[in-house]
Chains A and B, each alone.
Chain A
Amino acid sequence: MNMSNSTVQLHIDGHQVEVAAGTTILDAAKQAGVQVPTLCHHQNLSPTASCGVCIVEIEGSPALKRACCTPVEPGQKITTNSQQLRGLRKSLVELILSNHAVECPTCASNGKCELQDLANSMGVEFDRFEKVVDKRPNDTTSVSISREPNKCIACGRCVTVCNEIQTVNAITMSDRGFDVAVGTFFNEGLGNSSCVNCGQCTVFCPTGALRERSETDSVWNAILDPKKVVVVQEAPAIRVSLAEEFGLDMGEVTVGKMYAALKRLGFDYVFDTNFTADLTILEEGTELIDRVKTGGKLPLITSCSPGWIKFMETYFPDFGEYTSTCKSPQQMFGALVKTYFAKERGIDPADVVSVSIMPCTAKKFEARRPEMRDSGFQDVDYVLTTRELVRMIKEARLDFKNLPEESATDIMGAYTGAATIFGATGGVMEAAIRSAYYLLVGQSLANLDVKIVRGMEGIKEGTLSIPSKELGTLDVKVAVAHGLGNARKLLDKVRRQIAETGKSEYAFIEIMACPGGCVGGGGQPYGCTIADRARRGEGLYREDAGMAKRQSHENPEVARIYKEFLTSPGSEKSHQLLHTCYWERSIQSGSCLELKTHKHAASHAH
């Protein structure tokens, strides 16, 4: 037998396979074309081994082994399906169901629930074991995420993603035995914890125990109220995330159908967050150039991701003054729609209901921050996640797949390719590089595709040579991190560099809270893997590549708003409406401790 050190040969259900040493039985089986049933396992998370569904038999071993966390050994003969295994798995799922609030018709995960799917496919009987569900109250302390403990199967995925991938450490398993529950510090609830609202726990939850705090009822009420002017904006990632929910290909861009659906739902004006994404580039690009020119705090760190912002305020408050003062595109949009747009159309801003569709649960929190009322009202009234929009489209019985394409209202709906890639990790950086290059050199980059900041690697970095007429040739080192664990790693390094040498090697850093960027956001459709996120991102890059205008400064509506309303990037008015300030927060409760930066303070522009 030919066996090298790095590979292992074995038999799985009679198939001979050769896999890399250290491969789990589960992955080896997959390579042999055998799917072992799983429940608590997720391919992107380290195994919690809590459910036991993936047990297999190994010849010569009296004990059954969990395929998800047992590495293969040479010469093993593994059976993944037998009368014994089938019987045990079925009993196990029945047992788990006996401890699960089976409320499928009203559950947010209905149709996407992994427990439902498993139970259904195995033909389990629900009444084998007595129902043992302790009634526990739902956690509704957070404005972003709600937890229904009676649906929790204690698989531990949420804890793993929160602690290992995001390093937020807001939740852990509390209590013991049957009383085990996912809890926060002193069980004060997610809203009173270090939770940054990223919502990755909701995306990884196999059941409906974790979901967004739904605002669809409020939005329907506004739409159906004839006195209200209901406007809507959609984040870049939305246009690439609806297809998969309506029988189209994962990663297909459906922007025209998205606009059409929103109009049919009854929104009075359909705009696009991409408009303020372009605007963000002008504001943030100006801030960057200004900091470079005046010797301001560098690296400049992006501020689009509200999960990252709360994370920064909680764990890296010393980076408040490094973080861009720019509001996120959602909040820029909110401030402008009740000022610029209302004025333009002669509408009383008090009658405007501003709704945003976001791939994100943290945006719900962001919209309710006390700083986000610069229009004189709450700038964004309701934030719906992608999942909530999908439910509204289904409620309205729209045949999304076959909707004719429509367009957004120009005034706050026009956008460039640079804006659309905001939805993927590295996109903000790439958009900023395109415009900063133009602003400093006086001509566009020869190739607008900045490949070094694309892709799913956790931390990406590169150096750009910018032949500025005014400043000479600048070598700008940039870095991009997505997923807060990666952000933590990068910032620990930056913090060390600043402590040791007084400055960091980086000039500009993009950070997105969620792995993959906004396409991998916590408000996105359930059941997606990291690979799915990459496919959504590729969809956005395709849209960008096909657009005539691919640089934010080319957006005619952006030029118009500066001409007619804001004056220029970084102007007094811009600062009033488009910029913000940051707090230091308590790690225990998430509450604000002290204001770390002040509005206007970071700018020297005007």
Chain B
Amino acid sequence: MSIYRTHILVPIDEGTVQAGVFEVKRTLEREIRERGLEGEVRVLETGTVGIVGKGVLLAVYPDRIYYSGMRPSDVALLVEEHLLKGRVPSSLKHAPLDLQDGAKVLHRTGLTLPQKRVVLDKAWKVAPDDMREVLASGGYAGLERIVADRMTPEAVIDEVKKSGLRGRGGAGFPTGLKWELTRNSPGGRKYIICNADEGEPGTFKDRLILEGDPHRIVEAMTIAGYAMGATKGYVYIRGEYALSIERMQKAIDQAREYGLLGPDVLEHGFAFDLEIKKGAGAYICGDETALLESLEGKRGNPRIKPPYPVAHGLWQEPTSVNNVETLANVPGIIARGAGWFRTMGTEKSSGTKVFTILGHVEHPGLVEVEMGTPLRELVFSYGGGVSGGRKFKAALLGGASGVFLPEGLLDVRMDFESLKENKAVLGSGAVLVMDEDASIVDMLFSILKFFAHESCGRCAPCRIGTRQLLNLAWKLRRGKGRETDLDTMLRLAELMCGTALCPLGQSVIMPVRSAIEYFRGEFEACVKKTTEEARV
């Protein structure tokens, strides 16, 4: 194995692919070859760096410089100046980069601020499909500890329980407890399922974890399988996530090759294997019971609960369904211990959380920070503040089933408890920032359209309620609303909250109530406009 003086990391994610990253990479490789640098400089594909909307990115190591908005025509200059002469060409957009050590930031670049990267630790700096790199950078250390320390399944579950890890899919259910319930449920076969049907609007954290570090999920699921007594796992990935599926499949194949999956994992006497199932695009299949129905080949409708999946899940066998980000925390917890995990976050919300910061911010993208980080810090430090110097109006937290928070609540801490106290939810970790010119009425309409489209239609409150809400919002927007409509909307949302069968219908109240509660004036203005127009 050769030693290179310089590595150029090329983050590949759906965003950079669309921006033409492969063309840039080919040009780069050609230039390096033509300049005779092949022996000194290595070009490496990695997962995401977490920065979106900035075109093709290249990171040069060990120089800790990242370039953004790279075009093929920029490559010759980069090679000539940076790689040959050792100076950063000022005509190219660049910034210093170090996410791990929190190095000093020369320019205000938002997402390059220090982050606490745990689940995204390797995502941006290790080639996800190079098994040697994965292993060399600490991949499968959790599984190794289980084997080396002869940890019993109970001890594994205990470690996860002690870590305080809670589900990152939205509900925040204690992961260790879920595993324990699954383990203790009687049943012939047990299953571990990774819920990668990421569909919450404005959320793409799971995609970037899968693209950047798929082996972390393989490892986590193997650990989970061992802990629960499951020999089979399924990764249910949203069908549109082509790159995630490709990378995950490759990781599974490599793990099999290395004996990390198969009939005798690490010759430790337990069998475990993984299979990928593609989702077909229904938001509702992100609900664990609808996901199970879909996995079984049926229409993706949520099931009646109880029984819960931990007792009667896939094919009616005990099943644990865990979100990608939840699982991504597991290898670290096992390798480094629950104590280490608890040093991060708050007492009841330990660890880190990945947020997607979007909308009217200077630096949209993905950040991983400790639980309990204030919303203000996410928006104004990591996100670089409201774009164009405009004023902040609201942040929609947690996607479509989330809540609108006004400026007055910017200091809320982003953890399960603090958000709950403010009638908000962590949800998927999406933070959508809206500036002073954005319309809450329009946004709510857009959300209600989403719900009307994604309701499975099984239960009456959701099937009819989503349509009624959409009609009312449409009328408000069109200036045809009546004064009573706001109360009708709240009444409908409360009705759905109380009587809908699954979390989809139940959570419509979150955006509706918060929008009307915090921004009632805006809605009333719509009605007033109507009344005035009617008079004219």
B460's partner among A51, A63, A128, A130 (CB-CB below 8 A) is A51
Q: Is A17 an interface residue (CB 8 A)?
A: no
From residue B303, how far is it (CB to closest CB) to chain A in Å?
9
Enumerate chain B residues within 8 angstroms of A47, measured Cβ to Cβ. Answer: 304
Q: Is A88 an interface residue (CB 8 A)?
A: yes
From residue A300, how far is it (CB to closest CB) to chain B in Å?
38
Enumerate chain A residues within 8 angstroms of B495, measured Cβ to Cβ. Answer: 88, 91-92, 95
- A residues 98-138 near B (Cβ < 8 Å) are 98-99, 128-130, 132
A98–B463 contact, CB under 8 A? no
Enumerate chain A residues within 8 angstroms of B301, measured Cβ to Cβ. Answer: 173
Q: Is B278 an interface residue (CB 8 A)?
A: no
Q: How far is the CA of A447 from the CA of B453 in the complex (A)?
A: 65
A88–B460 contact, CB under 8 A? no
From residue B497, how far is it (CB to closest CB) to chain A in Å?
9
Enumerate chain B residues within 8 angstroms of A180, measured Cβ to Cβ. Answer: 456-458, 463
Q: Is A175 an interface residue (CB 8 A)?
A: yes
Please, what's the 1-or-0 string for B448-483, where 1 marks a CB less than 8 Å from any CB in chain A? Answer: 000011111111110111111001000000000000
A178–B458 contact, CB under 8 A? no
A71's partner among B282, B306, B460 (CB-CB below 8 A) is B306
When A51-B460, A52-B499, A64-B498 are in contact, do A176 and B455 touch as well, CB less than 8 Å? yes
- B residues 291-341 near A (Cβ < 8 Å) are 299, 301, 304, 306
B498–A55 contact, CB under 8 A? yes
B501–A177 contact, CB under 8 A? no
Enumerate chain A residues within 8 angstroms of B452, measured Cβ to Cβ. Answer: 177-178
B459's partner among A49, A84, A99, A175 (CB-CB below 8 A) is A49
When A71-B306, A99-B464, A132-B468 are in contact, do A52 and B459 touch as well, CB less than 8 Å? yes
Enumerate chain B residues within 8 angstroms of A128, measured Cβ to Cβ. Answer: 488
Please, what's the 1-or-0 string for A34-52, where 1 marks a CB less than 8 Å from any CB in chain B? Answer: 0000001000000111111
Q: How far is the CA of A130 from the CA of B455 in the complex (A)?
A: 19
Q: Is B391 an interface residue (CB 8 A)?
A: no
Enumerate chain B residues within 8 angstroms of A179, measured Cβ to Cβ. Answer: 457
Q: How far is the CA of A175 from the CA of B458 in the complex (A)?
A: 10
Q: How far is the CA of A367 from the CA of B495 in the complex (A)?
A: 49
When A49-B304, A52-B499, A130-B468 are in contact, do A177 and B459 touch as well, CB less than 8 Å? no
Q: Is B500 an interface residue (CB 8 A)?
A: yes
Q: How far is the CA of A47 from the CA of B463 in the complex (A)?
A: 18
B467–A132 contact, CB under 8 A? yes
Enumerate chain A residues within 8 angstroms of B460, measured Cβ to Cβ. Answer: 40, 50-52, 92, 95-96, 99, 153-154
Q: Is B491 an interface residue (CB 8 A)?
A: yes
Q: Is A70 an interface residue (CB 8 A)?
A: yes
Please, what's the 1-or-0 string for A216-255, where 1 marks a CB less than 8 Å from any CB in chain B? Answer: 0000000000000000000000000000000000000000
Q: How far is the CA of A539 from the CA of B452 in the complex (A)?
A: 51
Enumerate chain A residues within 8 angstroms of B468, measured Cβ to Cβ. Answer: 95, 98, 129-130, 132
Enumerate chain A residues within 8 angstroms of B499, measured Cβ to Cβ. Answer: 52, 55, 64, 88, 92
Closest to A51 in B: B460
B463–A178 contact, CB under 8 A? yes
Please, what's the 1-or-0 string for A66-100, where 1 marks a CB less than 8 Å from any CB in chain B? Answer: 10011100000000000010001001100110110
Q: How far is the CA of A69 from the CA of B307 in the complex (A)?
A: 10
Enumerate chain A residues within 8 angstroms of B491, measured Cβ to Cβ. Answer: 91
B501–A154 contact, CB under 8 A? no
Enumerate chain A residues within 8 angstroms of B466, measured Cβ to Cβ. Answer: 177-178
Q: How far is the CA of A154 from the CA of B457 in the complex (A)?
A: 9
Enumerate chain A residues within 8 angstroms of B306, measured Cβ to Cβ. Answer: 70-71
Enumerate chain B residues within 8 angstroms of A95, measured Cβ to Cβ. Answer: 460-461, 464-465, 468, 492, 495
From residue B170, how far is it (CB to closest CB) to chain A in Å?
16
A50, A64, A172, A176: most-surrounded residue (chain B CB, <10 A): A176
From residue A116, how far is it (CB to closest CB) to chain B in Å?
16
When A70-B306, A179-B457 are in contact, do A52 and B501 touch as well, CB less than 8 Å? yes
Enumerate chain B residues within 8 angstroms of A63, measured Cβ to Cβ. Answer: 506
B454, B463, B464, B488: most-surrounded residue (chain A CB, <10 A): B464
- A residues 172-231 near B (Cβ < 8 Å) are 172-173, 175-180
A177–B461 contact, CB under 8 A? no
B471–A178 contact, CB under 8 A? no
Q: How far is the CA of A172 from the CA of B501 in the complex (A)?
A: 19
A52, A84, A180: most-surrounded residue (chain B CB, <10 A): A52
A130–B459 contact, CB under 8 A? no
When A91-B495, A95-B461 are in contact, do A177 and B304 touch as well, CB less than 8 Å? no
Q: How far is the CA of A237 from the CA of B464 in the complex (A)?
A: 40
Q: How far is the CA of A180 from the CA of B506 in the complex (A)?
A: 19
A69's partner among B304, B455, B457, B471 (CB-CB below 8 A) is B304
B459–A51 contact, CB under 8 A? yes
Enumerate chain B residues within 8 angstroms of A40, measured Cβ to Cβ. Answer: 460
Q: How far is the CA of A99 from the CA of B501 in the complex (A)?
A: 18
B464–A132 contact, CB under 8 A? yes
A96's partner among B456, B464, B494, B498 (CB-CB below 8 A) is B464
A130–B457 contact, CB under 8 A? no
B471–A177 contact, CB under 8 A? no
Enumerate chain B residues within 8 angstroms of A92, measured Cβ to Cβ. Answer: 460-461, 495, 499
Q: How far is the CA of A490 from the CA of B456 in the complex (A)?
A: 36
Enumerate chain A residues within 8 angstroms of B471, measured Cβ to Cβ. Answer: 130, 132
From residue A538, how far is it (CB to closest CB) to chain B in Å?
35
Enumerate chain A residues within 8 angstroms of B492, measured Cβ to Cβ. Answer: 91, 95, 129
A177–B457 contact, CB under 8 A? yes
Closest to A96 in B: B460
Closest to A95 in B: B464
10 A-B pairs with the lowest CB-CB distances in the bound complex, closest first: A180-B457, A52-B499, A177-B455, A178-B467, A99-B464, A177-B457, A69-B304, A91-B495, A49-B304, A50-B459
Show 7 residue pairs from A and B whose CB-CB distance is below 8 angstroms, ordered by the A residue. A48-B458, A49-B304, A91-B495, A92-B499, A177-B452, A177-B467, A178-B455
